[in-house]
A and B are shown apart, each in its own frame.
Chain A
């Protein structure tokens, strides 16, 4: 096609630029700052170049650009393989494609590339809001393709105003709406892969979430993060809020600054929990991608979800990181006993304290041991101390090398991680085995959707102490300081410190989260397994991928059939209005006994009516006038005017024939 070499008009270039901008904007949340700046600089440069009508980009400039990108990418990621560097590369190349876009052929290439870039942005964020935002990009894309079609000079010369894009935008949205059923059919029936074809090593990125270490301030980021951590649907009614401790990694080893998880091996039968009284609670958790293997279960899980292990510390670990939404079932008991006898190894580990750190705290622990003798009394003393003189705050003062000493005897302000760490150090100093448990506490119960939403900001840390004959007991020192933290949730406690609108916003978001849950369960979670059980309600347990393909072919053929019918259908061809009016005139004359002969033209017919008139004189004149008018309209010009036809038709309609007596 020779016309692909045509130079783009201003309208067309503006739209291509908008598409590229939309595709790149979708990537901005995860792009490093340097690359973002580079990409936007390129887009601005291409806009300026096009405005000045610059010539095609010389070859050396393209080579230079590629070299710069390669350097920046390698400096930033040390690789160009994988999801992050790959998408950064795509953005950079898309922006540089815009820089050299002059002709329709370039524009087509940019469109192809922008489609891919837009799609790849969804690999980073699958939320409903983001997906809808990317569909805006799709509308822009289709509009740009529509405008790339050559237009008559009259249309092409329209002013470049926002309003002039409206018809094409509207047409694109309509065509998307028409495409939706076919797209849905593809979405439902395209067979999903059970396991990926390839997996790039760098795909596990940095997401926020509970980790297996805890150092001062590590939980702080989480506490201000309102994104969802997981959602829970309970089989029965949910337990009390104060009992919603979601157990995550258990941190045993302390080196003075950082708490670390200890590999403990798989839970053994002899440490079995004994349950007293209450039955197990069953529930289903839908965990957001965290890129980490930790699963969270209500304290204390009694069975292990598929594809996961339960460590000896009773925390659940998946065999591989959770890189996409992960759904699992679990059961827990709230009243439990486990590890009634402690192995020597574990006793040593849960009593160990680093040499040369926090001397005053260690001294305090030893003092309590000497004065109080009784474990219960020591625990009470510690909690008493927190309760009387400490404050809960999310913005505590900085701590020095002896962080626990500084906290206990100096600042006395902090949040869960400070209290848990300080409490465990005090217990160990007093000779009571103790460790830190991390996880989440509480959650927002959505009564409409009947599920519990746990956010990252519900992250929590508490302590576990071991008592002979009783096993591990959960102690939450934060509750001693600020009972509302446990009763009402993190947001309630920090309300006074945050902006006034936050609580209102959070309330609204809590309610809107229902839509997210539906989106997650219906769309994002629609995996191979759920696809195969699609026909479960109809008694078919499992659909094979081949059957799915047949279903796909059948359903799409059906839809294409409908579309074909729509395209081919021809509205019943109405007679041209002039012919219809003339027919009406002849019918009227036939009714009074003067039908037109089959071979009679209008002139012959008119002259016959004149020579042998069945009509009254007044009518005859009018009829002759109508015939003359018809002949004039029909034969005098190639294309009679619409008004002339309408006037003739109106006169025929009004004609009342009177016969001669």
Chain B
């Protein structure tokens, strides 16, 4: 019985998705910013709303039966307030705008930290907005939604996260944005499907062997190096490793500064795909990614040799990103 019901429900859903793409998860991805307007906001009563309206009906019949006008007035007042709350709910979601999405770099197997910038073009504050990343919900169904307010005329940054199980491009996926404000009687919702993907770096091999030859020399240099020897300071950008932040210098400014070292030619290591015989492809990628990170930590210039390309030698965030990106976008190898 229950199984039959579930089948019927999923049939109905798939029918709805074919017929009403705007309403469902088949809605095409859109470019940012996404502004919610009346054509893409949907309303259904909640379960509480249905029960409450049944209760109002009982109250109506009771007060009519006893010909009691004050009771009828009270019932009408409650009913009207309950019904009109649908408009408040609609206005809460109307003209909410997803302005941009910032993603922090992460490695496969970690959690991708996202920051969604919401604003509204409406002149009033919005309360009780709730949000859930549907991609995340697919893997963790019990994930509880994020609740946030949107003060009028301000951009609100909503911190959320997505599981990133695999390297390569990760689509942000659909975001369900809804509210049951003000009385929990109506469920007002919309889908946001930003056409945005973020790069997930390859998994880092745990306990990877040390860097290939040449690293001993370089490490000796670095340990001997004075702290003030870095080349220059630049403004912090999202994704910079925390250990590179120049805390003392930053304290004198009102923003964070990052140390930028000049690369040292002649001491570089070569991280080569072909020298890692005996490992399968994914293991090689993980090992190379681990070496890239280690070389960055130890400030050893490095060069990445892959079957189709060669990067470097160089050092620094841009080089690291180029290498990790190249590794992340390596074609899938059958395990």
Contact = CB atoms under 8 A, between A and B. Distances in A.
Contacts of A165: none
B190 interface: no
A523 B185 CA distance: 29
A122 B71 contact: yes
Contact of A563 (B55, B87, B155): B87
Given A108-B184, A112-B52, A179 B77 contact: yes
Contacts of A523: 69-70, 73
Interface string B60-76: 11111111111111111
Contacts of B51: 108, 112
A131 B74 CA distance: 8
B183 A142 contact: yes
A1 B65 CA distance: 36
A258 interface: no
B74 A138 contact: yes
B150 to A, nearest CB: 10
Instruction: Report which residue of B46, B66, B128 has the largest number of chain A beta carbons within 10 angstroms of its beta carbon.
Output: B66
A120 B62 contact: yes
A141 B78 contact: yes
Contact of A567 (B71, B94, B181): B94
B258 to A, nearest CB: 18
A116 B73 contact: no
Interface stretch (B8-16, B141-149, B211-219): B141-149
A180 to B, nearest CB: 7
B77 A190 contact: no
Contact of B81 (A148, A175, A564): A175
Interface string A107-132: 01001100110111011001000110
A118 B55 CA distance: 12
A324 B55 contact: no
A176 B77 contact: yes
Interface in A150-202: 150-155, 171, 175-176, 178-180, 182-184, 186-187, 190, 192-193, 196-198
Interface in B85-111: 85, 87-88, 90-91, 94-95, 99-100
B73 A131 contact: yes
Contacts of B75: 119
B58 interface: yes
A579 to B, nearest CB: 14
Given A149-B182, A573-B121, A115 B59 contact: yes
A338 to B, nearest CB: 36
A83 B85 CA distance: 32
A3 interface: yes
Interface string A1-12: 111100000000
Instruction: Report which residue of A83, A130, A145, A563 has the largest number of chain B beta carbons within 10 angstroms of its beta carbon.
Output: A145
B69 A567 contact: no
A567 B147 CA distance: 23
A175 B121 CA distance: 23
A112 B55 contact: yes
B83 interface: yes
Contacts of A527: 67
B66 A175 contact: no
Contact of B67 (A115, A154, A186, A192): A192
A213 to B, nearest CB: 29
Contact of B74 (A119, A155, A180, A638): A119
B138 interface: no
Contact of B149 (A3, A155, A197, A528): A155
A526 B183 contact: no
Nearest to A130: B70
Contacts of A175: 81, 84-85, 88, 182
A427 to B, nearest CB: 45
Contacts of B121: 573
A42 B60 CA distance: 29
List of 4 A-B pairs having minimum Cβ-Cβ separation, nearest first: A179-B80, A182-B80, A179-B81, A183-B76
Given A149-B184, A150-B145, A183-B76, 5 more contacts: A112-B55, A115-B52, A115-B56, A115-B78, A193-B65
30 contacts: A4-B48, A112-B55, A115-B59, A115-B78, A116-B55, A116-B58, A119-B63, A119-B74, A120-B62, A122-B68, A138-B74, A142-B81, A146-B182, A149-B183, A150-B130, A150-B145, A151-B128, A151-B147, A152-B147, A152-B148, A183-B73, A183-B77, A184-B76, A193-B67, A197-B61, A523-B69, A523-B70, A523-B73, A525-B69, A639-B99
